[in-house]
Structure 1
Amino acid sequence: MSTRTRRQWIVDSVVFGLAVVFGLWLAVGRMRWWPSPEPAWLLDLDQVAGALGCAALWFRRRWPVPLAAALIALSSFSELVGGAAMVALFTVAVLRPPRVTALLFAGGLVAAFTYQELRPEPDAPASLMLLFGLVVQGAVVGWGLAIHHRRKLVVSLRERAVRATREEIAREMHDVLGHRLSLLSVHAGALEFRPDAPADEIARAAKVIRESSHQALQDLREVLGVLRAPVGDRPQPGIGDLDALLEESRQAGMRVELRRHLRGEPPDTLGRTAYRIVQESLTNARKHAPGAAVEVTVDGGPENGLTVEVTNSAAGRSSGSGQGLAGLTERAAIVGGRLTYGPEAAGEWRVSAWLPWPP
């Protein structure tokens, strides 16, 4: 059963038609305009070979290399199979590795030389005919290789896009779920270490755990929805959502202070990157420096870029140095910025990022 698409049927029909027209033109020329002194049986054999070669082109997608090799071999004595042989050689150049094309191209040159030895043209120098064959085959192979490399480039770009999408999904899920799960850990830990807490505190912590779990699932749905939908179809968090983010951390017992000095509203991509930097930094502070005071500074404008700093006061404590901070560094680099992190001389831990702000 045929697996050709409609476009392939059209292309194959056009290619077959061109090969037939080329063969008929040569056959008519031999009979009318430049008669050959060769015996009639050789001309009949040439026509049979040409007809079979044209018909074989319908199988060029299934067996490109064997078909090209067979037609090139026939072209060593058959003039009318030349058009079909060039089509088969072009197909190999498009569908197979260049080294296979090079071998068949070399075979085509040998066939052209053999043809000149077996059936030389009395009115044309052999060197001129060989040069003509070299030019034609070179053009066919060059065209086919150009299409081959273009297709490889398209596939490579698609794979790169898929890889980038997967990395974006991983970053978004890490940032969103890491923040929510760290809140759950804080409240669950409080219940574990204070089993004798008053009933109203236990109820309040249980409520926060339930709400955070529900919000984590909701955030996950939104992240996957944003990544599946066209850009701009769904809102994503930005600078304006920092207050709500910090309030969640305060409800979990963190001491967080926000210093915001913005001269204008940053673009959506810039605001989303700044939000994720703050979110991941708060998550790390909750995990690695519980109880430390955290200061968040967001400052800048179109003239000097956006600076985001998150500092905690836990002397000698690390606020994480694994995949989360590595992901933040990649986020900053994607928008043309930079991010550094590490302990300060005073014992604080600081995450500092600078992001370009387009005018």
Structure 2
Amino acid sequence: MPRARDKSYHLIMVGAATPEYRALLPSALLAESRPEGRVRRTARDWFVDVVFFLFAVGLALLITAAGLEQGVDEPRSMIDLGLGLLCCAGLWVRRRWPVTLSLVVSAIGVWSVTSVGAAVVAFFTVAVHRRVVVTLAVGAVGLAGGYLFPLLRPEWATGSYWVEQAWAAVAVALVLAWGLVVRARRQLVLSLRDRAHRAEAEQQLRVTQARQAERARIAREMHDVLAHRISLLSLHAGALEFRPDAPPAEVARAAGVIRDSAHQALQELREVIGVLRADDLTEDAPDRPQPTLADLPGLVDESRAAGMRVRLDRRVDDLAEVPVAVGRNAYRIVQEGLTNARKHAYGSTVDVIVAGAAGDGLSVEVRNPWPVGVSSEPEIPGAGTGIVGLTERATLAGGRLEHGRTASGDFRLWAWLPWPA
């Protein structure tokens, strides 16, 4: 393989250094990055090597036969043939050591004319597999040996010395051009193949990343939805536990809320798990119905039915006019605020304020008194990442979120979301 690679091949090989990228690349492409001497010959390589070997051996036999007909000394011809066949045998290692083989054959070719076939194949291999500078240096060594050959073997001289040297230079130039053309074509084919493999691998990576992003989004939705439902379950279950003497009507009402909340939580969990198990999470997949700001009064009524004291201050004329994406984010922020108030400040009055207009943005505020002392209600467990998720949600929507204790001692969760005009 050529040592010089274009930028695309360099990028694909660098990318293949990471385990994730290598897992997506075809094994045939990774095999290209191995050192050349370790790559096994393919059937095509064996065919080409056999053809080149037979060409060099056949040319050596023809030259020997022609020399014997012209009266060249037979013992010298046999020695010449032996050296030529030795050079032909060396062609089987031309892929591993092309430069070394070409230099050795050039040195033997100073005296042996039958090595010319092996010299052509060896020089062609250098032109294909090595840099142009190295190829030119090896060709210069071969030409230098060609200048010495007529002086050592004058019996093979058939014409003017300089004319023969000029033809030798033309022959070297033709072999060099042939090798460079083959090298350029191989690099082009390899570059196109690598780009195709890289495009396929990058597409698979994009699909994988899209699936991971979709699963992360679903996980956030799972937290927002199930945390609210399960906190209601825990609240009513705790009330039944600590008030076993409650009137039967209240017990029945609490049990009904527990049943309905458990049913809804299981249904939503089943939908989420079903999506997570699907293999075709693409952008074209339909989303499950999402709440909007118009569903906010139902959320407040649900919390009131669970025993919370919630005051809703609507300063928006029509909640349905709020864009769907903005309304969904605002709904999730209020839902998480009510869940946190139910966990950490049960029994306190929670104020929910929704204000804004198109062009000015939408502000959402959830405020409740800071809890004093230790609550007698059982603590509802949580992951502690709800506020982090809300901050991320507001930031991705182009807004901002603030939370913390105010100067008056209340806990305030406030968010501003852009509402285009």
TM-score, normalising length from structure 1? 0.64
Query: How many Å separate the matches in 2 of 1:300 and 1:126?
Result: 80
Task: Encode CA deviations 1:42-63: one digit per residue, 9 max, x unaligned.
Answer: 89xxxxxxxxxxxxxxxxxxxx
8 A contact 1:338–1:353 mirrored in 2 = yes
Query: Which residue is equivalent to 1:303?
Result: 359
State the shift of 1:261 in Å: 2.4
Q: Which amino acid aligns with 2:217?
A: E
Identity %: 46
Partner of 2:209: 160
Partner of 1:281: 337
Which residue number in structure 1 is paired with residue 324 of structure 2?
Answer: 268
Identify which of 250, 255, 258 aligns with 2:309: 255
Q: Residue by residue, what CA displacement relative to the aligned partner does 1:24-48 show, whole Å, maximum 9, x if unpaired?
A: xxx9xxxxxxxxx9774589xxxxx
Distance 1:115 1:226, change over 3 A: same
The 8 Å contact of residues 120 and 126 in structure 1, kept in 2 or not, is answered as no
- Name structure 2 gaps, 5 residues minimum: 1-43, 62-92, 100-117, 143-167, 375-379
SS in 2 for 1:291: coil
| C-alpha distance 291-73 of structure 1, shift in aligned 2 (>3 A) | same
Shift of 1:121: 5.9
- Partner of residue 292, structure 2: 238
Letter in 2 for 1:196: D
User: Relative contact order, CA 8 A, sep 6+: which one is greater?
Assistant: 2
8 A Cα contact 2:128 2:179, kept in partner: no
* Structure 1 unaligned residues grouped into runs of 5+: 1-18, 28-36, 44-69, 86-104
Select the residue among 257, 262, 267 that pairs with 1:218.
267
CA offsets per residue over residues 139-181 of structure 1, 9 Å max, x none?
3444344334433432332222122122112111111111011
Change (3 A) 1:224 1:337: farther
Q: Is the 8 A contact 1:176 1:220 kept in 2?
A: no
| CA displacement, residues 53-92 of structure 1 (integer Å, 9 cap, x when unaligned) | xxxxxxxxxxxxxxxxx99569997999xxxx9xxxxxxx
Report the Cα distance in structure 2 between the residues aligned to 1:351 and 1:78, rounded to whole angstroms.
Answer: 83
Which entry has the higher C-alpha Rg, 1 or 2? Answer: 2
Whether contact under 8 Å (1:182, 1:287) holds in the other structure is yes
Q: Does 1:188 align with 2:237?
A: yes
Q: Which residue of 1 aligns with 2:163?
A: none
- What's the Cα RMSD here? 4.5
- Alignment pair present for 1:350 and 2:412: yes
Residue 246 of structure 1 deviates from its aligned partner by 0.5
Match of 1:91 in 2: none
Inter-CA distance 341–42: structure 2 relative to 1 (3 Å threshold): farther
Task: Specify the alignment match of 2:401 in structure 1.
Answer: 339
2-structure distance, mates of 1:172, 1:217? 14
2:129 equivalent among 108, 114, 129: 108
